[in-house]
Each structure stands twice: as structure tokens, then as C-alpha cells.
């Protein structure tokens, strides 16, 4: 591809859409992870400082005394958010928080962010200021510095791309791999709230659209709506684990749902997991709203994404250090790989855990 081929260019000018049809595999056929495997398999690294590239929550780069962490997320309007119920300030906050969560998932400390936005002309300066007010609040909360970005026009919706740096002492790095059999499986906070909050917001939007005189009824859903619109990355837990002298053996953040993240930990660490239904932490509002909406609470807890809680394993020897922690829950343990991923129901049955994470491509 060293020179422009005129023949190719003509082909493009005439038939780019047609040539794409010659052999056409839909992205949904292989899924997001299949696509990433496919497009990155030919890449080779040139630098010894690149310790870990594609495949964990953040890249790991050797930077002398410490590791530099690097991660990114792209948020696209009407895929990741709906501006008819997401205030721009909360959206800005969430864009930073979800990136901070990727650094937390490496047991690292976030440092700098760069933020690019694509804006259609329906956005005024005041609207962009609201977005950046939320970004600024998050930067204060998580002590990260905004150091750059790009601001451009977009023909249709809003696009936000955030990249983040972090750092971690070399002996504190936590990856998706590293779990051993008999490790205790831990999760922070509670599960499924962000997902069920989204269901409520969608429902109220439908009600409002069919009858604009109806006011959205959100009084009874404040906690779960907040979980959806303004999730908080668990940097508090990262600092507490350090204070308590606990090194997670493996770690990931819950962006696509517990089941999906368990599959990642299992695949990278080469272990299976047993998870106990009665140990799954659900907030009462999450539970009640799940029932109200005819969604099984266990399904909500297992497959609801965007909670940005941390999922990790610890050695049994560290158990007593965390035993009385108010917000870390012990939901199971790592087993032999061949035992697979099993949910132990309240009735004592073993059920296969299938990953049903959020599918972008449909």
C-alpha cells in the first residue's frame, strides 16, 4: 500500500459500496470480540515497553519505576445514551467515570484524560458547557487532569471519546489473568441497578411520548436512575484495598454484566467459577423494580451492565482482612477450569452461566 493505486481509486469512486458486497460478513455474525480478534491478529509490537496491549481493561506500558495504564471508550448517541432522558452534565460525568473504572480494574490510579467530542449543529455553546461541567465534576471527584482532546463537527449525533492514563506500582498491577483455584470471588456494591434504571427511563419515555401531558414518574426509582445516569467508579475500593494490604489476584470492572465479566476472568485466568445466587448483592429498589417489570432479579444481577462495580478474586489468606468490609461481597470461588461457570441456585441446583452482555451490533 505504498503508493495510491489509480485502478483501486477508480474502483473506490465507482463501486466502493458494491465491492464491499463481494464477500460480506456481517459484524453481528462474529460479534464485537470476534471482530477485535480478527482485525488485531496481524499486528506486531515494536517496543519492549509495551507490556500488555489489546485484551485487558487497559494497556500496560513500562515507564521506568511504574507502569503506565492507557484505556479508551467511545460513547455514541442513541447507542450508549439517549439525550431525551440523560442530562448532558451527567453524561459528561459518566464518560469520565466509566474510563476511571477501567484504570481501577487494573488496580491503578487515574491521572490524565483527553476528551474528544463530535457535535452536530443542534448543540449550542451552552449545551457543550453543560457536558463539560459534568466532565469537570468527575475530574475533581477522581483527581484526573484534562490535558487535551479534539472538538469537531458531526453530521448527526453526539459522539464522545475519552482516553485515560493511569499508573500502578509494578507489584500492584491486577490483570484479568492471575486467579487460582480456591480464590475467593468478590464483587463490590450491588448489581443490576444501572440496567433496571435504564428500563424505567425507557418506560417513562414511552409513556411521555404517547401522552406528553403525563409527567415522568421517577420518585420511587431515584437510586436506580442515579446508577444508570451517574455511575461512580470504585476508586474508594482501590484505595481501601491498598490500605488493608490486599492484592487482588485478578480483576475486571462490570461494564457488560457479571456473567460476561466472569467469562473474561475465566478465559484469561484458566479457572472456572462457582457463584451462589443467595450471595448476589441486589439493592431493594433494584429487586422490587425487576419484579415489577417482570424481569427475574437474578437475570438483572447476572446480565445487567454499566454498574461499574469491581469483580476480583483474593487469596483465602486475605479473607479476614476484608471479612467485615461494608461493601465487598463474597459471591463464590474459583474452581477447576473444566468445571466451567456455574450458578448455585437457592434450591441447590447448578446452572450454567451464559454470557449475555450488551450487544452493540445487531
Within positions 39 to 68, which residues make up the interface with its own copies, using CB under 8 A?
Answer: 39-40, 42-47, 49-50, 52-54, 58-59, 61, 63-65, 68
Return the closest-CA partner of residue 276 out of 255, 250, 298, 303. Answer: 298
Task: For the segment 182-241, give every residue that binds its own copies (CB under 8 A).
Answer: 204-205, 208, 212, 215-216, 218-219, 222, 225-226, 229-230
Q: Which stretch binds its own copies (CB under 8 A): 70-78, 239-247, 309-317, 318-326?
A: 70-78
Return the closest-CA partner of residue 185 out of 103, 261, 273, 110. Answer: 273
In whole angstroms, the minimum distance from the beta carbon of 11 to its own copies comes to 8
Q: How far apart are CA 198 and CA 306, in angstroms?
A: 10
Handedness of CA 231, 334, 259, 324 (dihedral sign): negative
Return the closest-CA partner of residue 298 out of 269, 271, 331, 265. Answer: 331
In whole angstroms, the minimum distance from the beta carbon of 257 to its own copies comes to 16
Of residues 58 and 104, the one with the C-beta less far from its own copies = 58
Q: How far apart are CA 309 and CA 311, in angstroms?
A: 7
Query: Cβ contacts of residue 256 below 8 Å, gap of 6+?
Result: 305, 355, 357, 358
Q: Which stretch binds its own copies (CB under 8 A): 157-165, 233-241, 317-325, 345-353?
A: 157-165
The helix (run of H) or strand (run of E) holding residue 165 is strand 159-169
Which residue in 18, 24, 243, 338 binds its own copies (CB under 8 A)? 24
Per the rule left: phi > 0, alpha: psi between -120 and 50, beta: everything else, 174 is beta
List beta partners, residue 343.
275, 351
Which residue in 134, 193, 305, 357 binds its own copies (CB under 8 A)? 134
Task: For the segment 84-103, give every residue that binds its own copies (CB under 8 A).
Answer: 84-87, 89-90, 93
Q: Which stretch binds its own copies (CB under 8 A): 145-153, 233-241, 261-269, 287-295?
A: 145-153
Q: Which stretch binds its own copies (CB under 8 A): 137-145, 178-186, 282-290, 306-314?
A: 137-145
Which residue in 94, 108, 161, 308 binds its own copies (CB under 8 A)? 161
Of residues 225 and 280, the one with the C-beta less far from its own copies = 225
The residue whose grid cell reads 469520565 is: 96
Q: Which stretch binds its own copies (CB under 8 A): 7-15, 173-181, 182-190, 334-342?
A: 7-15
Q: How many residues form the binding site for its own copies (CB under 8 A)?
A: 123
DSSP 355: P
Which residue in 107, 165, 285, 289 binds its own copies (CB under 8 A)? 165
In whole angstroms, the minimum distance from the beta carbon of 241 to its own copies comes to 21
Is residue 11 within 8 A of residue 20, CB to CB? The reply is no
DSSP 25: -
Of residues 196 and 331, the one with the C-beta less far from its own copies = 196
Of residues 165 and 300, the one with the C-beta less far from its own copies = 165
Task: For the segment 249-278, give every residue that binds its own copies (CB under 8 A).
Answer: none
Q: Provide the edge-to-edge strand list for the sheet that holds 272-276.
A: 250-253, 310-314, 184-188, 328-335, 272-276, 341-344, 350-352
Task: For the segment 299-358, give every residue that binds its own copies (CB under 8 A).
Answer: none
Which residue in 13, 317, 320, 348 binds its own copies (CB under 8 A)? 13
Q: Which stretch binds its own copies (CB under 8 A): 127-135, 176-184, 269-277, 329-337?
A: 127-135
Is residue 158 within 8 A of residue 117, CB to CB? The reply is yes
Question: In 188-207, which positions are buried (b, 16+ CB within 10 angstroms) versus exposed (e)?
Answer: bbbbbbbbbbbbbbeebeee
Amino acid at each position: 500500500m505504498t503508493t495510491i493505486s489509480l485502478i483501486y481509486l477508480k474502483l473506490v469512486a465507482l463501486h466502493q459500496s458494491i465491492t464491499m458486497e463481494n464477500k460480506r460478513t456481517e459484524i453481528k455474525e462474529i460479534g464485537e470480540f470476534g471482530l477485535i480478534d480478527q482485525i488485531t491478529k496481524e499486528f506486531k509490537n515494536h517496543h519492549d515497553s509495551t507490556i500488555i496491549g489489546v485484551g485487558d481493561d487497559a494497556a500496560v506500558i513500562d515507564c521506568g519505576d511504574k507502569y503506565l495504564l492507557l484505556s479508551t471508550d467511545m460513547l455514541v448517541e442513541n447507542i450508549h445514551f439517549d439525550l431525551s432522558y440523560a442530562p448532558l452534565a451527567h453524561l459528561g460525568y459518566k464518560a469520565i467515570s466509566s474510563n476511571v473504572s477501567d484504570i481501577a480494574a487494573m488496580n491503578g490510579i487515574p491521572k490524565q484524560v483527553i476528551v474528544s467530542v463530535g457535535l452536530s449543529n443542534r448543540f449550542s455553546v451552552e449545551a457543550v458547557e453543560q457536558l463539560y461541567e459534568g466532565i469537570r465534576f468527575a475530574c475533581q471527584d477522581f483527581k484526573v487532569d484534562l490535558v487535551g482532546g479534539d472538538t469537531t463537527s458531526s453530521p448527526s449525533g453526539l459522539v464522545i471519546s475519552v482516553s485515560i492514563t493511569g499508573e500502578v506500582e509494578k507489584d500492584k498491577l491486577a490483570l484479568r489473568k492471575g486467579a487460582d483455584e480456591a480464590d475467593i470471588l468478590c464483587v463490590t456494591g450491588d448489581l443490576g441497578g444501572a440496567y433496571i434504571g435504564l428500563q424505567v427511563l425507557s418506560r417513562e419515555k414511552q409513556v411521555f411520548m404517547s401522552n406528553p401531558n403525563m409527567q415522568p414518574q421517577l420518585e420511587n426509582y431515584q437510586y436506580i436512575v442515579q446508577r444508570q445516569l451517574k455511575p461512580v467508579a470504585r476508586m474508594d475500593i482501590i484505595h481501601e484495598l491498598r490500605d488493608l494490604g490486599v492484592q487482588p489476584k485478578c480483576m475486571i470492572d462490570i461494564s457488560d454484566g457479571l456473567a460476561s465479566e466472569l467469562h473474561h476472568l475465566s478465559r484469561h485466568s484458566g479457572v472456572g467459577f462457582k457463584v451462589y445466587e443467595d450471595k448476589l448483592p441486589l439493592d431493594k429498589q433494584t429487586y422490587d423494580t425487576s419484579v415489577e417489570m417482570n424481569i427475574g432479579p437474578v437475570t438483572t444481577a447476572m446480565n445487567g451492565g454499566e454498574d461499574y462495580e469491581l469483580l476480583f478474586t483474593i487469596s483465602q489468606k486475605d479473607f479476614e482482612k476484608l471479612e467485615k468490609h461494608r461493601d465487598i461481597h463474597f459471591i463464590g470461588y474459583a474452581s477447576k477450569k473444566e468445571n466451567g461457570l456455574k450458578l448455585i441456585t437457592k434450591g441447590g441446583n447448578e446452572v450454567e452461566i451464559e454470557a449475555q452482555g450488551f450487544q452493540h451490533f445487531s
